[in-house]
Amino acid sequence: MLISRRHSLRALAGAAACLAAPAWAQADEEGEQFDKIKASGSLKVAVYKDNAPFSSEAKGEVVGLDADIARALVKHMGLGVSFLPFHAGENMDADLRWMVERGHYLGFGPADLMMRVPVDRHLMFANRKVFIFGAYMSERPVLLRDSRKLDEVRQAEDLVGHPLAAEGGAGLTSVLIGHGGGLLRSQVKLYPDAIAAAQAVIQGEAAAAYVTRAHAEVALNQAAGATGHLRLGELAFGHQLAKGWPVGVAIKASNRHLRVAVDEAMGKLQSSGQMLSIFQSHRLTLTT
């Protein structure tokens, strides 16, 4: 009986060691991931191509709001930045898979960090190997309208009979076109991007455009001539997407050391007022 008991204790001790080993191994792996980043001296940051005012390329350099936030972020972390610009895939799940989790099938990536990721619980649940956090702004849908053509808009039905502009393929456009079973569908003209849709209102081609505040502000900032007749306002469509959504960053879920470092750096950006200054330098409103 005594021998049997000793064997049992040894078996239990061995099992405990086996259970503990993966935890230690995971901690070591997390530390090694962050150590490699620090040793390289720079953080690889994925940003969308052709996504003004957030990220685009000019004269071989990545520019835009997200690019400047990334530069400030890594500076607080004591690192440099290496950008990985990429074209958006068929959906956000694909973007996270190629740019954060695995690396792109074309042979580049993965990045250490990806900018402009919706901080959404459903997206998190569907992508367990990715951690999404660090919201730095909120995307806010607005209606940019010409007050000479639309004096007042209190509800979507007030838009009936007026030419409207929207970005082709955008989620907001789906909300606009789908409202009331397609009530406004025949009035909506699609443009290649949201800035172009907003410019259609400024140039008198449309009475209103349903876009994000940032895109509307870019168009207004670029406008030549009087803009006093143009108005920005919210318009509820009874849809969650129309209420806006927080935007943050994504990293591998396993890299907890990087998560802590990014979280601390993001906190410094916001508490010091530097985040607000970056938005102001782009003549954009910091919506939180």
On the question of a common fold for 36-139+244-281 and 141-243, the answer reads: yes
Residue 141, preceding peptide bond in cis (omega within 30° of 0): no
29 confidence band (pLDDT: 50, 70, 90)? low
* Segment 275-283 mean pLDDT: 98
For domain 141-243, which CATH number applies: 3.20.20.70, 3.40.190.10, 3.30.360.10, 3.40.50.300? 3.40.190.10
Q: Is the pLDDT of residue 269 over 90?
A: yes
pLDDT of residue 235: 86
Of 33-47, 192-206, 209-223, 238-252, the one with minimum mean pLDDT is 238-252
Residues 6+ apart with CB under 8 A from 120: 132, 245
E runs forming strands in 25-79 = 42-48, 56-58, 61-63
pLDDT of residue 239: 64
Mean pLDDT across the chain, nearest whole number?
Answer: 88
Return the closest-CA partner of residue 173 out of 194, 150, 146, 203: 194
User: Distance (Å, rounded) from C-alpha 286 to C-alpha 6?
Assistant: 66
Find out if CATH 3.40.190.10 is the number for domain 36-139+244-281: yes
pLDDT confidence bin for 8, thresholds 50/70/90? very low
Question: Is the CB of residue 211 less than 8 Å from the CB of residue 198?
Answer: yes
Is the model's pLDDT at 2 over the cut of 50?
no
Give strand pairing partners of 127: none
The domain ranges of the chain are: 36-139+244-281, 141-243
- 145-155 pLDDT, tens digit each: 999 999 999 99
